[in-house]
Structure 1
Amino acid sequence: MPTVDAIVAAANKGPPLSSFSRGTKVKGGGKMSLLKGYSYELEENPGEGFAEGFKPALTPAEILFMGAFEGKYLNDCTDEFPREWFLYAAAAGKLSPVADVSVNHFKVGSRQPLSVWKEKGWSPARGRHVAADTGRAILADSKQNPDERGWFQWYCRYWLGRRIPALDKVQIGRWRSFARHAGSVKAHCSPGAITCSVRERQALLQWAYNPFI
């Protein structure tokens, strides 16, 4: 089992944020990749050229730094993403070699197992191909959706500058739909009462919404 020190050591060997720009070719990382040798070319500079109306409140780096996904979502992807993402999160005590709810910002779990995502068609499964262009079909199809870890992995790659128009439209639509959770927090919690609805606040953080509303 890797340690946090091992994750940090691997991150130190990874690319700095300054090495990413439009035209950069990025090799997909992680042991879970469904597409052997997957890579992509950035069509935008990091953090730029977002679709109209897509205005996330948090960057991937900020989400990881604040504490999300039990501290282990991308720990085997240090060769794909900017090393600063991992180094800053590690310095804040927000990385873990095993799932650890205590490193989440609100100290609660707020996600379902990947097996559930695949079962519901929210992420692709090995060998699955669905000849349709509906949102759920695109998400479930490994030929149309290379992001087997779900929305946050998509967001990390989108933020860097990758663009897959059909997939991007679906994932941005899911992000917009998630706003209902912000509405629920506002309806049930007084302004600034951050100990109210902590599970929903953790979910908002992981979907790049402001969790402190």
Structure 2
Amino acid sequence: MTIALLAKSGLGKVLTKIGKSKNLASPTKETSRSIVVKLKNAADQERAAIAEEKRMAAGPGTTPEPPRSNKEYHRRLVDQNKEIYKNPPVMPVLSVTISPKTGSPPTRTGDKGNFKFSDFPQFKPNRSPEEVLRGGAFGGTYFRPIVSAVTNIKYKGSEVVATSCLPEWVKGLEKRVLTSSTYNVGVNRWGAKCGGSLGMWESSGWISEVDPYGWFQWYCRFFAGRRCDDDERQVKRWAALAGEKGRFRNQLIKKILNSGEPIGSKNVSPVVRQTLWHWGMEIDEDKIKTYKKIKGL
């Protein structure tokens, strides 16, 4: 039953009068009241649906806010000409709370050893955000200008760098290695192109509203001391890819051992090496030893 039909028929008013009548039996009045409540709820739902349809028909607009439904999220991705890797898209990570407290700076074993975070001992990258950027990553495009389907905000690369990285991390670096809109494989540490599109990350539900650029932006801010309730999820993502049992890490180590090539040879899986580099990990002798110990080799 539509709102218009309810208003035209006057049924709601009739049922309300029946519910208040003193001349009818209680069961009849209770039934009338129950029907009124159900009709009111149905009318409220219809109003909300109509309002949502009107909002969707007007497009995503420029209001800086996360999507309120899969339908709206899909519409944003389409309007922004993004790759929709998962369809329907997975809703992004929303309502992330930033802690007022900051984490202690990580410690490190040697110049190229693992970093240790006291509050996340399982998180052991061996390359800092600065080392990743200076070594060559993301084809120089990570902090390029983007329009986020998660936040509905258009970001300027230089401003995002300033809010994600400590000044000394990027001092002296050219724009072509930080904020370029054109992917340059020659920038990359391992000379290989890797990684998915922003649309792929967004439609997969991997992006949070506080770090709309993705995992590496989270890593930069985490390394600098920011803490939030998305940290555990991001650390688990790292562990699945680059941790001691990480799929990419162990896949690469196995190939290195089978190849007979030096540990740092670019002839062995440069794409996987570059991927791990983006996640703060470079395979070295220590990682080989850990792998052999776990595998009983």
8 Å CA contact 1:71, 1:97 repeated in 2: yes
Deviations 1:120-141 (A, max 9, x none): 11114xxxxxxxxxxxxxxxxx
Normalising by structure 1, report the TM-score: 0.64
* Alignment match, 2:236: 173
Aligned length: 157
How far apart are residue 46 of structure 1 and its match?
3.8
Structure 2: runs of 5+ lacking an equivalent: 1-63, 67-96, 107-116, 144-156, 286-297
Shift in CA distance, 171/96, structure 1 to aligned 2, threshold 3 Å: closer
Normalising by structure 2, report the TM-score: 0.47
Q: CA RMSD in A?
A: 2.7
Shift in CA distance, 181/173, structure 1 to aligned 2, threshold 3 Å: same
How far apart are residue 103 of structure 1 and its match?
0.3
* Alignment match, 1:204: 276
Deviations 1:157-204 (A, max 9, x none): 111111113x11111111110021111111112342332100000001
Q: Which runs of 4+ in 1 moved over 4 A?
A: 38-42
8 Å CA contact 2:137, 2:188 repeated in 1: yes
Counterpart among 148, 163, 175 of residue 212 in structure 2 = 148
Structure having the larger proportion of residues in helix: 2
8 Å CA contact 1:123, 1:148 repeated in 2: yes
Structure 1: runs of 5+ lacking an equivalent: 1-32, 125-141
Distance in 2 (alpha carbons) for counterparts of 1:34 and 1:159: 27
How far apart are residue 41 of structure 1 and its match?
4.8
Shift in CA distance, 104/96, structure 1 to aligned 2, threshold 3 Å: farther
Q: If you compute each CA radius of gyration, which structure gives the higher value, 1 or 2? A: 2
Q: Which has the higher contact order (CA 8 A, sep 6+)?
A: 1
8 Å CA contact 1:205, 1:211 repeated in 2: no
8 Å CA contact 2:135, 2:189 repeated in 1: yes
* Alignment match, 1:113: 197
Distance in 2 (alpha carbons) for counterparts of 1:34 and 1:49: 34
1:97 aligns with 2:180: yes
* Alignment match, 1:23: none
Distance in 1 (alpha carbons) for counterparts of 2:130 and 2:236: 22
